[in-house]
């Protein structure tokens, strides 16, 4: 089995600025473009990236939690708001941590290869379809992909394919797959707010 001249199959997508959106970009690429070729189980997507985890939404939730927490000292029912918001964000953050742990490793070690920044133009990753039983690899992909390694990887799964899909990516793309630092920040902030909400409620109970 030989591999022939590749053709690019990259589809441009818009990636939101939230950490789940960046992470899920890698997840989607692996699920739809790589993993199916080797019968690898689909990776799980993180949650909250479409709305809840935008910075201004988080800032609003923090201000709302703290404001209603203070108000609950005087009006006890106000404590409901900080409790709901903090539990929501803590649960969401813990879920995303579990997703990260279960998805490891996220990038396929054989069918996805890192290249120096600039090799892919202004993009952070590109997909290529390589015909099977053709001639030889050509173009930029030839410098980073070993045909023998790819053929061996696909043969191990006994999958009959007319072409093999591989991906090249740079360091920016790889950073999307790493553990998001925002997770630790969010978990810390909302855990503190949850403790404060309990303190505010305790003050209310003591007062009455």
Q: Is there a contact between 136 and 150 (Cβ–Cβ < 8 Å)?
A: no
Intra-chain end-to-end CA distance of the chain, in Å: 81
- Residue 26, domain member (yes or no): yes
- Residue 114, domain member (yes or no): yes
Q: Is there a contact between 167 and 33 (Cβ–Cβ < 8 Å)?
A: yes
Q: Of 23, 195, 204, 14, whose CA–CA distance to 102 is shortest?
A: 23
pTM, whole model, 2 decimals?
0.85
Tens digits of pLDDT across the chain (208 residues): 455 566 778 777 788 999 999 999 999 999 988 887 777 889 999 999 999 999 999 999 999 999 999 999 988 899 999 999 999 999 999 999 999 999 999 998 888 989 999 999 889 999 988 776 644 454 556 666 666 666 665 665 545 667 788 899 999 999 999 999 999 999 999 999 999 999 998 885 544 4
- Residue 136, domain member (yes or no): yes
Number of domains in the chain: 1
Which pairs with CB-CB distance under 8 Å and at least 24 residues apart come from 10-13?
10/123, 10/125, 10/126, 10/127, 11/127
- Residue 121, domain member (yes or no): yes
- Residue 1, domain member (yes or no): no
Full domain range(s) for residue 106: 7-207
User: Any bridge partners for residue 169, and if so which?
Assistant: 114, 125
Phi-psi region of 178 (alpha: psi -120 to 50; beta: other; left: phi over 0): beta
- Residue 157, domain member (yes or no): yes
Cα–Cα distance for residue pair 160/153, rounded to 1 Å: 12
- Residue 169, domain member (yes or no): yes
Cα–Cα distance for residue pair 202/137, rounded to 1 Å: 69
């Amino acid at each position: 089995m030989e591999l022939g001249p590749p053709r690019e199959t990259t589809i441009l997508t818009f990636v939101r600025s939230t950490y789940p959106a960046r992470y899920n970009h890698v997840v989607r690429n692996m699920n739809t473009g790589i993993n199916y070729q080797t019968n690898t189980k689909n990776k799980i997507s993180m949650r909250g990236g479409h709305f809840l985890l935008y910075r201004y939404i988080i800032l609003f939730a923090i201000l709302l939690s703290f404001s209603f927490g203070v108000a609950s000292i005087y009006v006890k029912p106000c404590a409901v708001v900080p409790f709901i918001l903090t539990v929501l964000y803590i649960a969401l953050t813990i879920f995303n941590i579990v997703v990260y742990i279960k998805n490891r490793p996220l990038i396929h070690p054989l069918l996805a290869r890192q290249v120096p920044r600039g090799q892919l133009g202004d993009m952070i990753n590109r997909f290529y379809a390589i015909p099977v039983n053709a001639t030889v690899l050509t173009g930029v992909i030839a410098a980073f992909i070993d045909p023998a390694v790819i053929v061996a990887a696909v043969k191990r799964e006994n999958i009959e394919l007319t072409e093999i899909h591989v991906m090249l990516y740079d360091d920016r793309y790889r950073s999307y797959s790493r553990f998001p630092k925002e997770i630790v920040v969010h978990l810390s902030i909302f855990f503190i707010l949850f403790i404060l909400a309990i303190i505010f409620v305790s003050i209310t109970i003591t007062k009455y």
